[in-house]
């Protein structure tokens, strides 16, 4: 991959015609290091957030070996790139073929479910396998999430105890999981979810081997600064100690956004300036879905290949390249008043659910990728001294089967 010090250097050198993902693999490595050092359990990268090879490689090189996968394609991708990786098939609804291939062809043993029908499907598609790790996904509040994803998956408070009992009959290891919603702005959401999980486990009176607190760990967007990530870990650790699970139960998390968000900015060319709007060559159907959909204050700056911008800044609306009116980033986006055709905008903090969401609608969506060396707009992670040698993965707790239950 081409490397430039900054996106502006690329603009000056090449006047790129296509949108460009300006990526900072060192920021992904830093985030992966942080999670492995601070999370007291297993860290699974949620591949959906950004499945680019450079991001996966940075995560793997940082020592992370567990991946949360949601589809056959994600399984194939991880298996081919990292044959020794552990994959957890965490989509609560899977096709029989996907389960069968995951189990028999790719050695996947960890499956999520949120209802009896999915449990039956997993048991049948694996020929009644005896070595399954079954993770029951619970429905929890998403009220603290910048991007709630509730209402689609998760066993309800009423149904979950019976489902846990059913799953226990088929599980070599049994876990509970939940998702507090993406960009969770308060650690209290994890506390509430873990307390709910505890009361469900007590009702079910089953032995639980794994607690998976899911994703939802936030990134720092301008004007949307979450508490320090350490607070989230402290709350999770404290609540985990109180849960009615095996004394030596494992704790997992599945961060997506928090590992990759700050790594990438998207450089898009201005094709036309008209009536207070800029028509750019990337948009909602391309790498800017999250920026459109979430309406968060994604940071932006303007770049001009030759000469400087002059005068005041003013508010613009951005239009993406496709013919659909949805392809609009309302903003308002504050940019130099004289920005015009042939200039560029760089939208930052879009490493999660950016490139990963791009379509080819209308023939657009082709994106180049370069590595840049400048700092991201903001960061959840303090710079840490990296050792010269390979990073040694965080030592995992070894769980001994048949341990004592606690908190009963
Ligand atoms: C099961 C599961 N785990 C983890 C994640 C990652 O979430 P986030 O990017 O908010 O950390 C998602 C995202 O939708 C998910 O569905």
Atom of ligand 1 nearest to the CA of 353: 9
Residue 344 phi/psi, 5-degree rounding, is: -130, 150
Rounded Cα distance, 320 and 337, in Å: 19
179 lines ligand 1 (CB under 6 A): yes
Token duo for residue 45: 């990268």
Ligand 1 site, residue 215, Cβ cutoff 6 A = yes
Please tell me the predicted confidence (pLDDT) of residue 222. 87
- How far CA 202 is from CA of 155, 199, 206, in Å, comes to 15, 5, 8
Tell whether ligand 1 has an atom less than 6 A from the beta carbon of residue 217: yes
84 close to 65: Cβ distance less than 8 angstroms: yes
CB distance 142 to ligand 1 below 6 Å: no
Q: Whose CA is nearest to atom 1 of ligand 1?
A: 90
Q: Are 262 and 349 in contact (CB under 8 A)?
A: yes
Asked if the bond preceding 332 is cis, omega within 30° of 0, the reply is: yes
pLDDT at 397: 41
Kindly report the length of the chain.
408
End-to-end CA distance of the chain: 55
CATH 3.20.20.10 residue ranges for the chain: 25-260
| Ligand 1 in reach of 91 Cβ (< 6 A) | no
Q: Which residues make up the CATH 2.40.37.10 domain(s) of the chain? A: 3-21+261-372
pLDDT at 183: 97
Q: Which atom of ligand 1 is nearest to the CA of 215?
A: 11
**For the domain bounded by 25-260, which CATH number is listed?**
3.20.20.10
- One pLDDT digit (tens) per residue for the chain, 408 residues: 999 999 999 999 999 999 999 999 999 999 999 999 999 999 999 999 999 999 999 999 999 999 999 999 999 999 999 999 999 999 999 999 999 999 999 999 999 999 999 999 999 999 999 999 999 999 999 999 999 999 999 999 999 999 999 999 999 999 999 999 999 999 999 999 999 999 999 999 999 999 999 999 999 998 899 999 999 999 999 999 999 999 999 999 999 999 999 999 999 999 999 999 999 999 999 999 999 998 888 999 999 999 999 989 999 999 999 999 999 999 999 999 999 999 999 999 999 999 999 999 999 999 999 999 999 999 999 764 444 433 333 334 434 333 444 543
pLDDT, residue 295, reads 87
CA atoms within 13 A on the CB side of 261: 23
Encoded tokens for 264? 């990438």
Q: Could you give the 3-state DSSP secondary structure of residue 54?
A: helix
- Centroid of ligand 1 to alpha carbon of 201 (angstroms): 23
Q: Where are the beta strands (DSSP E) in 18-154?
A: 20-23, 42-46, 66-69, 86-89, 110-113, 133-137, 145-147
| Cα 396 to the center of its chain, rounded Å | 22
> How many A from CA of 177 to the centre of ligand 1?
11
What is the bridge-based pairing of β-strands 66-69 and 86-89?
A: parallel
Q: Cα separation of 158 and 162, whole Å?
A: 8
Widest Cα–Cα separation across the chain = 71
CA of 178 to the centre of ligand 1 (A): 10
Q: Tokens 């956004």 appear where?
A: 257
Instruction: Note the pLDDT of residue 383.
Output: 61
Write out the DSSP string of 234-298.
HHHHHHHHHSSSBTT-EEEE--SHHHHGGGEEEEEEEEEEETTEEEES--TTTTTHHHHHH----
* Residue 128 tokens, joined: 């009644």
Residue 357 CA to ligand 1 centre (angstroms): 14
Q: How many angstroms separate the alpha carbon of residue 29 from the centre of ligand 1?
A: 19
In what helix (H) or strand (E) does residue 154 lie, and over which residues does it extend?
none
Is the beta carbon of 216 within 6 A of some atom in ligand 1? yes
Hey, is 319 helix, strand or coil? strand
- Answer yes or no: CATH 2.40.37.10 is held by domain 3-21+261-372: yes
CA-255 nearest atom, ligand 1: 11
């Amino acid at each position: 991959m081409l490397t430039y010090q900054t996106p502006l250097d690329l603009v000056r050198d090449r006047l790129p015609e296509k949108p460009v993902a300006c990526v900072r693999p060192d920021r992904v490595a830093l985030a992966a290091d942080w999670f492995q050092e601070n999370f007291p359990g297993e860290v699974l990268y949620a591949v959906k957030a950004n499945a680019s090879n450079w991001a996966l490689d940075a995560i793997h090189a940082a020592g992370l070996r567990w991946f949360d996968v949601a589809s056959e394609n994600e399984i194939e991708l991880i298996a081919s790139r990292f044959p020794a990786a552990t994959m957890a098939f965490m989509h609560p609804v899977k096709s029989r073929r996907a389960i069968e291939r995951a189990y028999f062809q790719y050695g996947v043993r960890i499956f999520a479910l949120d209802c009896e029908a999915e449990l039956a499907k997993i048991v049948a598609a694996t020929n009644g396998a005896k070595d399954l790790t079954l993770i029951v996904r619970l429905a929890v509040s998403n009220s603290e999430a910048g991007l709630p994803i509730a209402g689609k998956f998760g066993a309800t408070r009423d149904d979950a105890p019976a489902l846990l009992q059913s799953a226990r009959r088929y599980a070599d290891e049994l876990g509970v999981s939940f998702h507090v919603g993406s960009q969770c702005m308060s650690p209290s959401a994890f506390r509430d979810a873990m307390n709910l999980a505890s009361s469900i486990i007590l009702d079910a009176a089953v032995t639980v081997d794994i607690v998976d607190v899911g994703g939802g760990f936030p990134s720092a967007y301008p004007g949307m600064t979450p508490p320090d990530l350490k607070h989230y870990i402290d709350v999770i650790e404290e609540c985990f100690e109180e849960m009615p699970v095996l004394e030596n139960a494992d704790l997992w998390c599945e961060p997506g956004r928090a590992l990759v968000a700050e790594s990438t900015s998207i450089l898009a060319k201005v094709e036309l300036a008209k009536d207070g709007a800029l028509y750019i060559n990337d948009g909602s159907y391309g790498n800017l879905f999250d920026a459109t959909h979430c309406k968060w204050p994604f940071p932006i700056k303007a770049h001009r290949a030759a000469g400087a911008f002059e005068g005041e800044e003013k508010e613009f609306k951005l239009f993406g390249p496709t013919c659909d009116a949805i392809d609009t980033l309302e903003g308002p986006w504050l940019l130099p008043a004289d920005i015009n055709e042939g200039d560029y905008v760089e939208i930052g903090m879009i490493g999660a659910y950016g490139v990963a969401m791009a379509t080819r609608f209308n023939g657009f969506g082709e994106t180049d990728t370069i590595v840049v060396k400048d700092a991201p707009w903001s960061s959840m992670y303090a710079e840490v001294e990296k050792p010269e040698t390979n990073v040694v993965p965080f030592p995992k707790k070894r769980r001994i089967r048949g341990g004592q239950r606690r908190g009963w």
